[in-house]
Structure 1
Amino acid sequence: MTVDAHHHLWDLDVRDQPWIVGPEMEPLRRDFRPADLQEALRGTGVDATVLVQTVSDPDETPELLVLADTVDRIAAVVGWVDLTARDVREQIGRLQTHPSGRWLKGLRHQVEDEPDPDWLLRPAVLNGLAAVEDAGLVYELLVRVDQLPAATKAVAQFPQLTFVLDHCAKPPVASGELQPWADRLRALAAHPNVVCKLSGLVTEDEWARQPDPVRLRPYVDVVLEAFGPRRLLFGSDWPVCLLAAEYRQVIELTKQLLADLDDRQRAAVFDANARAVYDI
């Protein structure tokens, strides 16, 4: 069994995806609907997935919850609320009491789009994180490398809140550099309430050179050393991964990169860890 802990769906007739800009992103400027997901999953052994929000729009998360209620294999939703809003607790409560609210397992914000590297430390944001903690949800960190120090400080203030780092904080694979990403990642990983998605790496390299385990291995080695197999989750980042690799290629590439793990450790990364984090 395999859990894909990170994928998206969108319908451009319902909502634009303003982050899909430029000719290089053109392969993503189409609808990715449940039927497309089911086709991508066919024959892969993935039997459960985590559907993740894409835009800062309060109307998107209820739609994702309905999809989880109706689409086979979607087993959890990571949604969005405005963490800085005065009524953040009420926003979370409305999602949790939604008719399909049982599928809501986590929240996130595109912190990577915030110019302020210390955005996560703003008082209003910390208040929002406290609300996420009180609601019993997980919080996903979608951050740039320069935002990792603030993320580490924020995580330290909420030791009972599980944080999930998306895409290994987007290391600079294309340039081949490891620092300062590696040291900052290790500092975040020193907090036991943080787990990391082994996802999104193929699109941090030069897309035309994918998939290339040799170029990705130094980064995966750092992540493995920092978090260990018990705090890693496999995620495809489909359909964004299609910019560099097909769904099956991402799975096979991840298996190659984790080939030195024993069977129990691989089962943890590909299955058990995500089921525990998202209560699947």
Structure 2
Amino acid sequence: MTVDAHHHVWDLSVRDQDWLTGPELQPLRRNFTVEDLEPEAHAAGVTRTVLVQTVTVPEETPEFLALADAHDLIAGVVGWADLTRPDIAEELARLRELPGGTHLKGIRHQVQGEPDPEWLLRPDVHRGLAAVAEAGLVYDLIVRPHQLPAAVRAAESHPRLTFVLDHLGKPPIASGALDPWAGAVRSLAALPNTVCKLSGMVTEADPASWTADDLRPYADTVLDAFGPHRLMFGSDWPVCVLAASYEQVADTAGDLVKKLTDDERTAVFETTAVRVYGL
């Protein structure tokens, strides 16, 4: 059994995805539903998934919780809530009382789009992260390499909160450069309350010509830094379709961890996600 710890869905008739700009993202400017995902996930042996937020609007999280309530495939939701609101603790409690609220496993904010590289260290964000920890949820980090030092300090400040690094911290795979990304990732991995998703790599590589060997140095870095029991597979569907099919992403992830033991591969593809998200 495989858990896909990171995917999205959206319906453009419900709301626009305002980040889908430019010709390179045009293939994503259509609806992607759970019904679209199910046959691809099942063909790849995926039996459970984690649905992750896409936009910073309060209406999306209740919609995702309702989807999880209606579809056995979705075992958990990483939603969005405004960490800076004074009543963030009450808001998290409210979300968990909604239909499907038991599926709320984590919170994420689009930190990668924040102009302040130390957004995670703001006092109001610090208070919000403390509320996430108190609620027993995890926090997904969507950051770029230059924001990783602030992520390290935030994780140090909240030892009771598990921080999940999405997409390896978006390393510059297309350029082939490892540093300074690798050093920052190792600093984050040195903290016991951090986990990493083996996800989002194909779209950081050259979308037209990437190979598994292009991704391997980056996968090997996080495998060495976090270890397989703090690493989890995510497809990043449907964003991945810009560079690869769902099947290709899953097969490539398998290739990148083929030297691991059976137990270690099971951790990457199932048990880490089950443990971290409480699926």
Please classify the TM superposition score into its range, dividing by the shorter chain length: over 0.9
- Name the counterpart of 1:150: 150
Partner amino acid for 2:244?
A
- Name the counterpart of 2:264: 265
1:44 deviation in Å? 1.3
Q: Is the 8 A contact 2:117 2:147 kept in 1?
A: yes
- Name the counterpart of 2:59: 59
1:42 deviation in Å? 3.1
Partner amino acid for 1:268?
A
TM-score normalised per structure 2 = 0.99
1:41 deviation in Å? 1.4
- Name the counterpart of 1:203: 203
- Name the counterpart of 2:229: 230
Mapped pair 1:81 → 2:86: no
1:89 deviation in Å? 1.2
Distance in 2, Cα, partners of 1:134 & 1:77: 18
3-state SS of paired residue (2:105):
strand
Mapped pair 1:243 → 2:242: yes
- Name the counterpart of 2:39: 39
3-state SS of paired residue (1:230):
helix
After superposition, the C-alpha distances for 1:138-193 in whole angstroms (9 at most, x for unaligned) are 00000010000000000001111111000000000011100100000000100010
Distance in 1, Cα, partners of 2:49 & 2:42: 13
3-state SS of paired residue (1:219):
helix
1:87 deviation in Å? 1.5
1:227 deviation in Å? 0.3
Mapped pair 1:95 → 2:95: yes
3-state SS of paired residue (1:204):
coil
Name whichever of 39-48 and 106-115 sits farther off. 39-48
- Name the counterpart of 1:167: 167
Distance in 1, Cα, partners of 2:221 & 2:44: 27
- Name the counterpart of 1:72: 72
Partner amino acid for 1:256?
D
1:71 deviation in Å? 1.2
Distance in 1, Cα, partners of 2:260 & 2:220: 12
3-state SS of paired residue (1:160):
coil
Partner amino acid for 1:129?
L
Q: Is the 8 A contact 2:69 2:99 kept in 1?
A: no
1:34 deviation in Å? 1.5
Partner amino acid for 2:207?
W
Name whichever of 16-25 and 39-48 sits farther off. 39-48
Structure 1 segments of 4 or more deviating over 3 A?
A: none
Distance in 2, Cα, partners of 1:99 & 1:42: 25
3-state SS of paired residue (2:208):
helix
3-state SS of paired residue (1:195):
strand
1:94 deviation in Å? 0.8
3-state SS of paired residue (1:207):
coil
Aligned-residue sequence identity (percent) comes to: 60
- Name the counterpart of 1:217: 216
Distance in 2, Cα, partners of 1:163 & 1:184: 15
Distance in 2, Cα, partners of 1:108 & 1:81: 8
- In structure 2, stretches of 5+ residues that fail to align are none
Distance in 2, Cα, partners of 1:194 & 1:274: 13
Distance in 2, Cα, partners of 1:122 & 1:34: 36
